[in-house]
């Protein structure tokens, strides 16, 4: 077992200054017990803690580190940009370059605007859809997490599920009533909602691959039915690709599944690991934004030159290398090894993945939506998490988070991870 005395001291100190000792809830390890380790540095596929322990990292700063930590092209781009100025609050060439790159990679995006986080991007997209349609109601799906804005923090996933409070205090009932929540992968519920409320629906927002309640995939035909209904009713379809954007391929999940949304939201990889968000889509909708239209959205640090440089370096590296094929191969290796290890130990595990994203549910039933995910054995997952951490493998400290591979991971890393999992499975 790794010694983490320095991390424990830092956490005790953090508790004196910060609610829960963390600046984002899931980091507190509440879902798995114990106290979190504190990072000291990270490079490639490894993160090092304050006590000098190294871990194979499958969290990857919750998704952005697709090239691994401290990737050379990204670090060099940020260093060069910082020397020219860390913030302008003025239009600059980096914004134009990254916007051009996003449009080239995602065909549904005709215009794009940058902001500072995934939460900002989804919040702005919802406001824009309402301003464009003149309607108020929106639809989201149970377990899909779209950030912590009031309208979207209703039946959310991720940290909200981890804490057992899917509906946050502080969200006015009047706001929550404007959000209709449906089960994912239920086309009949979708059709009924449009039948009853179609004339009032401004937008439907979803993660095409829900990855904030673990990870599950859309059933065949579900996305096609959603696109048909939104089109027929004049409802804006918003694809939340904050996690999947540029990770599952150049056009994200919408490219994989052949979906053309009206608006898309991005974060994480689009900033190369720096704080960033973006939303974009049809030009006629985007042109409703100020200063052209009546929908207001702004940000002092939007288009920050460091984030633009990092994002451009990340996307160019992905686009010009064999990154996505490599990630697919690594994902397949990990799935094969984990499934075999669980089967040999007779442990009920439902391993689900797509490309470089994955989740292991401790259940023997298929997982297609939030209700299915909630049947996972979270006590067993917590034991698995700590067993892996003690063997130098860092997974997300929650059953309801996806794992991420990077191009810095190697087949040796996968083999080490599988061997560790086999040892832990034997103790469960």
Mean pLDDT to the nearest integer, 362-388: 96
pLDDT above 90 for 231:
yes
Backbone angles phi, psi at 198, to 5 degrees: -50, -40
215 and 115 inside one domain:
yes
Confidence (pLDDT) at 156: 58
* Spatial contact of 193 and 139, defined as CB atoms under 8 Å apart: yes
CATH code assigned at 265: 3.40.640.10
pLDDT above 80 for 6:
yes
201 and 123 inside one domain:
yes
* Spatial separation of the C-alpha atoms in residues 196 and 181, rounded to whole Å: 14
Domain boundary among 294, 320, 346: 320
pLDDT tens digits, one per residue of 48-96? 999 999 999 999 999 999 999 999 999 999 999 999 999 999 999 999 9
- Residue 304 corresponds to which tokens in the numbers above? 């920050």
Active-site residue identified among 268, 372, 377, 413: 268
Domain boundary among 320, 342, 363: 320
Confidence (pLDDT) at 162: 43
pLDDT tens digits, one per residue of 112-157? 999 999 999 999 999 999 999 999 999 999 999 998 887 787 765 5
CATH code assigned at 383: 3.90.1150.10
- Residue 204 corresponds to which tokens in the numbers above? 């439907």
108 and 184 inside one domain:
yes
194 and 115 inside one domain:
yes
CB-count burial class (<10 Å; 0-12, 13-18, 19+) for 17: exposed
DSSP 383-398: HHHHHHHHTTEE--SS
13 and 82 inside one domain:
no
pLDDT above 80 for 161:
no
340 and 388 inside one domain:
yes
3-state DSSP percent of the chain in helix, strand and coil, to 5:
45, 15, 40
Question: Tell me, what DSSP letter sits at residue 69?
Answer: B
Confidence (pLDDT) at 1: 66
* Spatial contact of 208 and 247, defined as CB atoms under 8 Å apart: no
Q: Give the CA distances from residue 33 to residues 10, 267, 380, in Å, rounded to whole numbers and listed in that order.
A: 17, 29, 12
Lowest mean pLDDT among 20-34, 101-115, 353-367: 20-34
The count of domains in the chain is: 2
pLDDT tens digits, one per residue of 385-420? 999 999 999 999 999 999 999 999 999 999 999 999
Q: Which residue range is the domain that position 61 belongs to? A: 5-70+322-425
Confidence (pLDDT) at 154: 73
pLDDT above 90 for 223:
yes
* Spatial contact of 133 and 175, defined as CB atoms under 8 Å apart: no
Q: For all residues of the chain together, what is the average pLDDT?
A: 94
Confidence (pLDDT) at 138: 96
- Residue 40 corresponds to which tokens in the numbers above? 């000291």
Comparing CA positions, the residue from 53, 161, 217 lying closest to residue 397 is 161
Alpha helices in 220-303 (DSSP H): 222-233, 252-257, 283-286
108 and 87 inside one domain:
yes
306 and 331 inside one domain:
no
32 and 79 inside one domain:
no
Catalytic (active site) residue 268? yes
367 and 245 inside one domain:
no
Half-sphere exposure of 302 (CA within 13 A, CB side): 18
Confidence band (pLDDT; 50, 70, 90) for 172?
confident
* Spatial separation of the C-alpha atoms in residues 313 and 5, rounded to whole Å: 37
* Spatial separation of the C-alpha atoms in residues 332 and 62, rounded to whole Å: 20
pLDDT tens digits, one per residue of 291-350? 999 999 999 999 999 999 999 999 999 999 999 999 999 999 999 999 999 999 999 999
* Spatial separation of the C-alpha atoms in residues 345 and 388, rounded to whole Å: 16
pLDDT above 80 for 8:
yes
pLDDT above 70 for 282:
yes
- Residue 58 corresponds to which tokens in the numbers above? 């499958």
* Spatial separation of the C-alpha atoms in residues 190 and 193, rounded to whole Å: 5
Burial 256-274 (b: 16+ CB within 10 A, else e): bbebbbbbbbbbbbbbbbb
238 and 208 inside one domain:
yes
* Spatial separation of the C-alpha atoms in residues 131 and 240, rounded to whole Å: 19
Backbone angles phi, psi at 196, to 5 degrees: -90, -30
**DSSP-derived 3-state class of residue 377:** coil
Comparing CA positions, the residue from 394, 384, 390, 286 lying closest to residue 342 is 384
* Spatial contact of 84 and 78, defined as CB atoms under 8 Å apart: no
Mean pLDDT to the nearest integer, 173-187: 89
Active-site residue identified among 145, 216, 361, 394: 145
39 and 104 inside one domain:
no
Instruction: Considering only CA atoms, give the Rg of the chain.
Output: 21
Active-site residue identified among 240, 262, 372, 413: 240
Domain boundary among 270, 297, 320: 320
């Amino acid at each position: 077992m790794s010694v983490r005395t320095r991390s424990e001291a830092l956490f005790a100190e953090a508790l004196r200054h910060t609610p829960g000792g963390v600046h984002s809830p899931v980091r507190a390890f509440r879902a798995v017990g114990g106290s979190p380790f504190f990072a000291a540095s990270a490079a490639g596929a490894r993160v090092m803690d304050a006590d000098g322990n190294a871990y194979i990292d499958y969290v990857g700063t919750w998704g952005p580190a697709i090239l691994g930590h401290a990737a050379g092209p990204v670090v060099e781009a940020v260093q060069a940009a910082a020397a020219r100025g860390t913030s302008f609050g003025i239009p600059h060439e980096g914004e134009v370059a990254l916007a051009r790159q996003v449009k080239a990679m995602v065909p549904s995006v005709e215009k794009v605007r940058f902001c500072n986080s995934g939460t900002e991007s989804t919040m702005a997209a919802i406001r824009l859809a309402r301003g464009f349609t003149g309607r108020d109601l929106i639809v989201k799906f149970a377990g899909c997490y779209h950030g912590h804005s009031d309208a979207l923090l209703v039946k959310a996933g991720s940290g909200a599920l981890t804490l057992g409070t899917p509906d946050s205090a502080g969200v006015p009932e009047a706001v929550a009533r404007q959000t209709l929540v449906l089960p994912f992968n239920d086309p009949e519920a979708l059709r009924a909602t449009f039948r009853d409320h179609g004339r009032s629906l401004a937008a439907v927002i979803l993660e095409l691959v829900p990855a904030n309640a673990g990870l599950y995939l859309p059933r065949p035909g579900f996305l096609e039915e959603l696109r048909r209904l939104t089109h027929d009713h004049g409802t804006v379809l918003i694809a939340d690709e904050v996690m999947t954007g540029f990770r599952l391929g150049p056009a994200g999940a919408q490219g994989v599944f052949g979906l053309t949304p009206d608006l898309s939201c991005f974060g994480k990889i689009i900033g190369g690991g720096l704080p960033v968000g973006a939303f974009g889509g049809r030009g006629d909708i985007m042109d409703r934004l100020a200063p052209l239209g009546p929908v207001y959205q702004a940000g002092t640090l939007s288009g920050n030159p460091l984030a633009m440089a990092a994002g451009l370096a990340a996307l160019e590296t992905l686009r010009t290398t064999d990154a996505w094929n490599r990630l697919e191969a690594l994902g397949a290796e990990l799935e094969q090894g984990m499934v075999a290890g669980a089967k040999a130990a007779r442990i009920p595990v439902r391993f689900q993945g797509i490309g470089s994203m994955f989740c292991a549910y401790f259940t023997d039933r298929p997982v297609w939506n939030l209700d299915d995910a909630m049947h996972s054995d979270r006590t067993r997952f917590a034991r698995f998490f700590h067993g892996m951490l003690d063997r130098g493998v860092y997974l997300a400290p929650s059953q309801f988070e996806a794992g991420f591979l990077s191009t810095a991971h190697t087949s040796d890393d996968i083999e080490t991870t599988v061997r560790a999992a086999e040892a832990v499975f034997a103790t469960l």
